[in-house]
Amino acid sequence: MLTPELHTALAAAARQKLAAAIDAERAAGERAEAVARGPYYPSPYRFFTDFLAPTYRRKTIDNPEMMWCPRWFAHPEARGRVEALWRAWEHLRLDQTTGLSVWWKDHADHHMAKLLSPDGTFKDCTPHHRQVHPLPSIDIPTELLTLDDADPAATRL
């Protein structure tokens, strides 16, 4: 039997479910629109200049605990890590719940610790910038360099 109390409870539950569905649909639409518009920052360099550098402030000058090179973009590893940070930020900014927290915890804290480590990316760089040498390697056989990317089994070690 449908009592007035049960009717009220069912109506409230239905309204709550409907509101949640509308909110989820609205959020999905907003994410789709943001993706269609493209990235907020057009490049990892603009991301660094406009967001990362002013936001991630640390004392790096005369601090042996943190190494940084003002010509970070001349270091392939630093360029790669800043690009990874940018790509992750662009993706996670669209998550209105925990996206930016995940970005800080899983991406910024991880990559910046690697970049700033005294034994990290800029370990051998000097105040006047000195590029460090790449990892040593003998010449990779041509057949390994030309493996067909379409055959994932061919790239297994």
pLDDT digits (tens, 9 = 90+) for 79-93: 999 999 999 999 999
In terms of pTM, does the model score above 0.85?
A: no
74 and 129 in contact (C-beta within 8 Å)? yes
pLDDT digits (tens, 9 = 90+) for 1-53: 778 887 788 888 888 888 777 776 776 666 566 556 799 999 999 999 999 99
48 and 82 in contact (C-beta within 8 Å)? yes
